[in-house]
Amino acid sequence: MVGLKVGEVHTVDLHFQDTPGVVASAVFDTGDGLTLVDTGPSSTLPALEAGLAALGARLEDVRHVLLTHIHLDHAGAAGTLLARVPNARAYVHERGAAHLSRPERLVASATQIYGDQMQSLWGEFLPVPAERLTVLVGGEGLRLGSTDVLPLYTPGHAVHHLAYHVGDDLFVGDVGGIRLDQRQTPRAPTPPPDIDLDAWRASIALLRGIDARTLHLAHFGPYAQAEAHWDALLANLDTDAQRIHAGLVAGQEPGALSSAFTAALLAELGEESPDLPGRYEFACPPWMSVQGLVRYWQRQAARTASPASAQESTQETAQTPAQAAR
């Protein structure tokens, strides 16, 4: 592939909402065409094509699409891309596969949140034909061209979340946090409905033990596989969760709880760099993180009060990842 060496990973900035450094895809040549890790939404497909062109490649060179999870900012363009590239196929966790093939509920849920902004934010969300999906559980080895890929089941952010280990590179989706540049400590995006703090901590323990040199974040770019990254992510995850828990215990109204959380988060980001708060709100609006953590603590309370009701809540979450538009 012109401009790409086999195994060499490139970050493609998708310029989400005309904002650089917020949403990325990663691309590498396997020796059997290009592999793309996450597509971004269809609204950023022109930026993906431009990014590939800058590398001397075309969208039609893509053969494998590794999806970390099916939220719109990661997988929204998957159906459109596969419709345009007949020789490509997508890879996804088994708990997200049905929503790619039949995305009506996902789109309906997102439309309830975003209304008339759906098209401008995300673009179309076409179904992925089931026969062009490789359904994964995590742990099975993939051989793509001359490249070995190991999917890793990493729930916490979403019940259907996967990371991918490829040689020295580890593609961590959202479970690796949001880190928009080196100045920022990583933060956990916690939108509803699937946030599970214990599962997230277990996924971090798994990933930090992987023998890789580089982490690739969808939000945003490559960082060293380092203890400091994971330690900071865990600390911020706990801080954010406890802020919401304390507000719930104090009986704060939802609006006040969201406002207080947003103010604290953006102030901390602003101390790291003045430009971070504005960019972060494009990567993960704080109000969505509040909703996810509120739901988490409500489920924890239900589990404590009644094991039966907790089981029902878990089943509901497994069936409705469409509620999480991001």
What pLDDT score does 205 carry?
98
Hey, which bits of the chain come out as E strands?
10-13, 24-29, 34-37, 62-66, 89-93, 133-136, 142-144, 147-153, 162-166, 169-173, 214-217, 221-224
Q: Which two tokens stand for residue 190?
A: 């916690």
Interacting residues of 122 by C-beta distance below 8 A, sequence separation 6+ = 41, 42, 43, 72, 73, 76, 110, 114, 325
**pTM score, whole prediction:** 0.91
List the chain pLDDT tens, one digit each, 326 residues.
Answer: 446 777 789 999 999 999 999 999 999 999 889 999 999 999 999 999 999 999 999 999 999 999 999 999 999 999 999 999 999 999 999 999 999 988 878 777 777 777 777 777 788 889 999 999 999 999 999 999 999 999 999 999 999 999 999 999 999 999 999 999 999 999 999 999 889 999 999 999 999 999 999 999 999 999 999 999 999 999 999 999 999 999 999 999 999 999 999 999 999 999 999 999 999 999 999 999 999 999 999 999 988 886 554 444 443 333 333 333 44
Interacting residues of 108 by C-beta distance below 8 A, sequence separation 6+ = 322
What pLDDT score does 26 carry?
98
Q: Which domains does the chain have, with CATH numbers?
A: 10-233 (3.60.15.10)
